[in-house]
Amino acid sequence: MTKSLFSFPNPVNEVSARLVAGGVVILSVASIALDQPWLTAVIAYGFVARVLTGPKLSPLGLLATRVITPRLPVREKLVPGAPKRFAQGIGAALTVTASVLALGFGQHGAAYVVLGAVVVAATLESVFAFCVGCTIFGWLMRLRLVPEAVCAECNDIWNRAPAARPVQPRAR
């Protein structure tokens, strides 16, 4: 079965997600430190592309999933896709807001404050594997604002174990 262009992967390799978050940190810090407000639009595009298509149309997503992750000597860690998509949606909302502030209204300082929140969240994800959006998604599920059917794997978002890998039979 062919997946649609507008689909999000489920499960998601958390290694790749953390690499993308690291790229977001680098781009966001560069935008603020170098006073390059046009970069907010580039960052916003990446978030919107990832919400709509996963990594398929995102330069950072493609770099992480196709180039960097396969070359790392680490095992994949599969996590549910729905909370990651929700987190990307929060990032999209924040970075689109920053873009509008910076490029539409010339409010670079306000845009950089919003982008600073993105830096904090993306740093938590990339360095500590703590996804703020995923945590909020978990709270919304506990409050029953997100139905269990949206993400059956997410019933206990805080205590989930790494995804099981198929056991390969030993050669005798």
Q: Does 62 score more than 70 pLDDT?
A: yes
Q: What is the largest CA-CA distance in the chain?
A: 69
- Specify if 2 maps to a domain: no
- Counting residues of the chain whose pLDDT is more than 90, the rounded percentage is 78
Which segments within 68-138 are labelled E, that is strand? 78-79
- Specify if 55 maps to a domain: yes
pTM (2 d.p.): 0.86
- Specify if 104 maps to a domain: yes
Render pLDDT for 4-23 as a digit per residue (tens, 0 to 9).
777 888 899 999 999 999 99
Q: How far apart are CA 2 and CA 61, in angstroms?
A: 20
Range of the domain at 27: 12-154
How many domains does the chain divide into? 1
End-to-end alpha carbon distance in the chain:
36
- Specify if 119 maps to a domain: yes
Q: How far apart are CA 156 and CA 12, in angstroms?
A: 17
Q: Does 158 score more than 50 pLDDT?
A: no
Question: What pLDDT does 3 receive?
Answer: 65
Tell me the pLDDT band of 92, cut-offs 50, 70 and 90: very high
- Specify if 81 maps to a domain: yes
What's the mean pLDDT in 95-103? 98
Which stretch of 36-40, 71-75, 126-130, 155-159 has the lowest confidence by average pLDDT? Answer: 155-159
- Specify if 149 maps to a domain: yes
Question: What pLDDT does 85 receive?
Answer: 95
